[in-house]
Structure 1
Amino acid sequence: MADMTAQPGKEAEEKKIDGRLNRSVKTKAAIAAAFLDMVDEGILSPTSEEVAKRAGVGHRTVFRHFEDMESLYVMIHEEIHRLVWPLIQEIPVSTPLEERIKLLVQQRTRVYKRISPFRKALFARYWSSPVLQKMTKEDEKLSRTLLLNILPEAKALTKSGVETLDALLSFDTWLRMRELQQLSETQTRNVLTEAVSGILLPGGKGKSR
């Protein structure tokens, strides 16, 4: 009889714990979404007070969750992926190489323009966050895989040729051209297309092993 009365109490306690966990996850998701929205609007370093107001939660709640920034970064990273994937369209290998190069450059520049505020906002935090470092490296590996899938001709390059191609099509190169060299979007696409074509098209560099 004691066991029968203890079971309902245990179930009630488990439901209570599950409820708290669900609320915690929802709250953290709201905080992450608020952070992303503000960054997307150009506020690259929102304060916890600003995030709390946007998320509709108390400042202490935000501060408590900000203590565990690593898990917030995971949520932010997942949300960024959700925004970016629709911009990554399949480019058939059967498409002529010259056209694939143009399409890949256009695709990369669209993606980089979309993620630029988020990468800027998280850059300062990168050096102190093992999670951000891990996720960024994973993203770079994925980016390289997509590059080699779209431009399999790159596999015939020297190692230096592949590394040069990967660097040319990186976010860092795009950001430098746009921010420091102050090139327009069109100029940036043209420079990258010409540089990649110079490596991969007949007569370009990097062909010999």
Structure 2
Amino acid sequence: MHTKEPATQTPADGRHARAERTREAIVEALLALLGEGVLRPSGEQIAERAGVSRRAIWNHFTDLDDLLACAARRRMETVMPLWPKLPRDGTAAERARAVAEGVGRFHEHVAPVRRAAVLFAHDLAFLAGQLREAARMHRAAIRAVFEAEIEAAPEETRAVLLAGLAAAASFSMWEELRRNQELSVDEATCAVRIELEGMLERAARN
């Protein structure tokens, strides 16, 4: 009876594994720099953080677009599980509070990389598409939370109400409150909650 010989790694397998580790290190280096607020990291900065030569970056990625696309895909894989589970039960005020707290935590976590994505989206179609898809998912999530209130509104105002609620809970609003208005996380969360509650109350009166 012959026993099966254990598979041995070929030189090609070893080269492939090293190449994958290098690609991984470069992507992680870029994400780390973006997370630290370096919105336009240079090739030298990425290479130094990854522990590789600058030439190695372009041996593994076609160009900056290719590197950013890989980093964006990686980031999406890691942040989407962090999207909060938003309630569909409870009073409108309770749901508004849950949305403000949940999306606030999410926006705060993704803010450094999201800022870079917004910056580069003007030039990179892939990132622009990612942001559009994120906006679509955000809008759908907000609609699901406040579906009863939206459907109870006059038909001609439903789209406006949904747009207002989605905008109040959006990353753009969070960025305005945190960076431009210089509110703390708790203060920004409170502002989002008040805005959501106000729109819902006005819609209920009409």
| TM-score class normalised by the smaller sequence | 0.7 to 0.9
Query: Equivalent residue for 2:203?
Result: 205
2:89/2:95 contact within 8 Å kept = no
Picking from 95, 98, 103, the partner of 1:100 is 95
Residue matched to 2:3: none
Aligned partner of 2:179 in structure 1 is 179
Q: Pick the aligned partner of 1:89 from 84, 88, 100.
A: 84
- C-alpha contact (below 8 Å) 1:70/1:129 kept by paired residues: yes
Paired with 2:204 and 2:138, the residues of 1 have a C-alpha distance of 20
1:193 paired to 2:193: yes
Equivalent residue for 1:30? 25
Residues 23 and 71 of structure 1: is their aligned pair in 2 closer, same or farther, counting only changes over 3 Å? farther
Any residues of structure 2 matched to 1:130-145 within 5 Å, and which? 130-145=125-140
Give the Å deviation of 1:207. Answer: 6.8
Task: Name the structure 1 match of 2:110.
Answer: 115
Percent identity reads 25
Residue 75 of structure 2: aligned partner: 80
C-alpha change, 1:108 and 1:66, in structure 2 (3 Å) is same
Counterpart pick for 1:42 among 37, 45, 48: 37
The offset of 1:62, in angstroms, is 1.4
Unaligned runs of 5+ residues in structure 2 are 1-10
Gaps in structure 1 of 5+ consecutive residues: 1-14
Distance of 1:190 and 1:178 partners within structure 2: 12
- Do structure 1's residue 56 and structure 2's residue 51 form an aligned pair? yes
The CA distance in 2 between the partners of 1:181 and 1:175, in whole Å, is: 9
The alpha carbon displacement at 1:65 in A equals 4.5
CA deviation string 1:157-194 (max 9, x = no partner)? 42111111111111111101111122222221111111
Normalising by structure 2, we get a TM-score of 0.80
**What is the TM-score when the length of structure 1 is the normalising length?**
0.79
